[in-house]
Copies of this chain bind each other. A is one copy, B any other.
């Protein structure tokens, strides 16, 4: 389930505040979901709650971590060390959650050898070696859009089956490969869409619609 990380985050926040047990209602509100949905999600993992009391925060935290697979170490490869790749490399949120940036790769020879976040950037010609050397299972694409598909194809060829794409491009993968995308401008576009709606429909009238409207009112 895609909501488990959300619950995990809410639980972590509660644990930091020293909360020992939490009811589904409270946890649901913290995570911003419906409490019945939360209970159903959790019951799918097993019966980890106590009726009349709630859920033990630390225990549940551990159960979800195990379910997601965070109890093991995941070496992550980042391809494309531009602005975004830099930011991702230095982003502290990964390490604390079971992910370790293990290797960086870029196609620009000028970047090769440069040190970023304590790691030497390798050239993308060495992709094959890097993947084997660090036993990479998860790769992040932070290249320009035009390079994304080619990079992705190479990663798939090297046997990587989990890819996170930040490049603003539609990337195709074969069956059996998990591709997720994080698309910065898409998110902004969705916000803009709603924002436009809020600002009244009048502004959004097209010329055609205006003509229609004028006809309709007999203007």
A interface residues, Cβ below 8 angstroms from B: 2, 4-6, 8-10, 13, 30-32, 66-70, 72, 74, 76, 83-84, 86-88, 90-91, 93-94, 97-99, 137-138, 145, 161-164, 168-170, 172, 178, 180, 182-196, 198, 204, 206
User: How many Å from the CB of A186 to the closest CB on chain B?
Assistant: 4
Residues of B contacting A2 in the complex (Cβ-Cβ under 8 angstroms): 186, 190
- Known contacts: A5-B183, A91-B83, A198-B161. The answer to whether A70 contacts B189 by CB under 8 A is yes
Q: Are B76 and A188 closer than 8 Å at their CB atoms?
A: yes
Residues of B contacting A198 in the complex (Cβ-Cβ under 8 angstroms): 161
Residues of B contacting A68 in the complex (Cβ-Cβ under 8 angstroms): 189, 192-193, 196
Q: Are A187 and B164 closer than 8 Å at their CB atoms?
A: yes
How many protomers of this protein does the assembly include?
Answer: 2
Q: Are B69 and A192 closer than 8 Å at their CB atoms?
A: yes
Known contacts A5-B189, A138-B195, A162-B195; 11 additional CB pairs below 8 A are A4-B193, A5-B186, A9-B186, A68-B193, A70-B192, A83-B90, A91-B184, A94-B185, A162-B192, A164-B191, A180-B190
- Known contacts: A87-B83, A193-B4. The answer to whether A9 contacts B70 by CB under 8 A is no
Residue of A93, A163, A204 with most partner-chain B CB within 10 A: A93
Q: Are A84 and B74 closer than 8 Å at their CB atoms?
A: no
Q: Which of B74, B90, B137, B169 lies in contact with A9, CB distance below 8 A?
A: B169
Q: Which of B32, B172, B184, B204 lies in contact with A93, CB distance below 8 A?
A: B184
Residue of A13, A83, A170, A188 with most partner-chain B CB within 10 A: A188
Residues of B contacting A137 in the complex (Cβ-Cβ under 8 angstroms): 195
Q: Are B138 and A184 closer than 8 Å at their CB atoms?
A: no
Residue of B nearest to A167 (CB): B93
